[in-house]
Chains A and B, each alone.
Chain A
Amino acid sequence: MQTFEAALAELETVLRELESDTTSLDDALAKYERGVGLLRQCYGQLKNAEQKIMQLTGTNADGTPVLEPFEHTAAIGK
């Protein structure tokens, strides 16, 4: 799936093309469908966004990060 940013950029392009007078009706229908799909995707990403918070606790020998879930409610409690 595209990133939100890429989807938003494509949405703007498709909309601009649709709003120009040069598109045929068939083309306009295809663009509309594409636009609706992108809108749905963007909405979905916003709606289902679940905050992911990790704490970096070190680096493995192979250079990969050691990440542990970060319990931020503990911080809020303080």
Chain B
Amino acid sequence: MNEPLSVGQLCGWLRYHLEDELPPVAVVGEIADYKRHSSGHHYFELKERNERVLCVCWQSNAARLRFAPANGLQVLVRGPLTYYGPHAKIQINVQSMSPIGVGAADMALRLLTEKIRGLGWMDRPRKPLPRFPRRVALVTSASSAAVRDMVQSFANRWPLCELVIANCRVQGATAPAEIAGCLKSLNALHESRKLVLDAIIVGRGGGSGEDLMAFNAESVVAAIVASTVPVVSAIGHEVDRTLADAVADAGAETPSNAVTLITPSQSELKTSLLTMRDRFRESLHGKVIQAERRLEMIATRPAFARPLDRLRRGEQRLDDLGERLRNAMLRRVERSRVKVAALAAQLESVSPLNVLKRGYSLTRTVDGAVLRDAGQVSAGAEIVTSLASGEVRSTVINTQAG
């Protein structure tokens, strides 16, 4: 290598050896100087004592991180080395990063728990569970003991419910995506009314620690929260509750318990139907007895027992009324008679005949009009004068206005 190189040639040569010839590296270190750029890219350093290496996590990789990286956290990063010419930097192009060491998984879980609490998902309003479900989907491994237990519980308690098994892996790297995928497609079918569901049970049989990690995955938690169908988590666990339990509409200890939460008991129902049948019978029987008693009471009333009594009572009442009517009429006639005499006397006192008796007279034209004004007649007219006794006919000689 005696020929001098240009800077560009040297940079190209470095890039070629770092990026194309070296296999990707896996490095463990403590995060320092962590920066989230607004572009979505993350820049940080991994340090060990006083040595450091630069790392960059592009936005597409950063979006897939399953925990929130923070300074001081021990992590394992994987990815190829690159040479960034403009700043003369060698850096790791981080493809994946996970917390490591004692409690690292717990740390990641704790960080996710904080995030979920911050989003308000822990105390979001829960959807009501069905009481008599017609169709329920089971999101679990189709070949598991959990499916067998749930099918058996449904058969015992509520066989009227149709079951739809949505098969998925419940542990391993692909489990979270498969579980979340099942929840999403079931909801899509429900919302388009193609497969209406009353509830979804998501779960697995017993397991501990790593086995349950899928139910702590953010994608699964988010799918449960986004579900329009009520979700019951049924994760048989020996230790802590999972995040799926914390956000589900109900969390059951075991798959069978999940079935109990959303179904009535068939045997209890049969008992209560029997009780109702008895109540119906007793109630109707009571009504019949009551009606019979009323009928009896009516039949024994005097009117039905001795019909003539009633007739006689009627006659007596009629007699009585007749008497009262007659008396009332007599009293009324008497009152009228007295009143008529009084009125006659009053009328007598104002009669014009009485005035004539005192020497006055009443003069009328031949038409009968009473004369009050001399202008009513003229000379030659005939007039009639009524006296207390008899009439005088006269002819007018002359008139003189008053």
Contact = CB atoms under 8 A, between A and B. Distances in A.
A4 B189 contact: no
Contact of B195 (A28, A50, A65, A76): A65
B273 A39 contact: yes
B164 A55 contact: yes
B164 A67 contact: yes
B3 to A, nearest CB: 62
A16 to B, nearest CB: 10
Contact of B132 (A3, A55, A56, A59): A3
A54 B142 contact: no
Nearest to B165: A55
Nearest to A75: B148
Interface string A1-28: 0011100100110010011000101001
B288 interface: yes
Given A53-B165, A54-B165, A75-B142, A19 B276 contact: no
A25 B290 CA distance: 9
A11 B195 contact: no
Nearest to B143: A75
Interface stretch (B152-160, B301-309, B311-319, B357-365): B152-160
A76 B160 contact: no
B258 interface: no
A75 B147 contact: yes
Interface in A15-46: 15, 18-19, 23, 25, 28-29, 32, 35-36, 39, 42-43, 45-46
15 contacts: A11-B276, A18-B287, A28-B283, A28-B287, A39-B273, A39-B280, A49-B160, A51-B159, A51-B163, A55-B165, A55-B166, A55-B167, A65-B164, A72-B148, A78-B148
Closest 6 pairs between A and B when the two form their complex, measured CB to CB: A49-B159, A5-B132, A28-B287, A32-B284, A55-B165, A52-B162
Interface of B: 131-132, 134, 137, 142-145, 147-148, 151, 154-155, 159-160, 162-167, 182, 185-186, 188-189, 192, 194-195, 266, 269-270, 273, 276-277, 279-280, 283-284, 287-288, 291
Given A39-B276, A63-B192, 19 more contacts: A15-B279, A32-B280, A32-B283, A42-B269, A46-B160, A50-B159, A51-B151, A53-B151, A53-B165, A54-B165, A55-B142, A56-B137, A56-B165, A56-B189, A67-B195, A72-B151, A75-B151, A78-B143, A78-B148
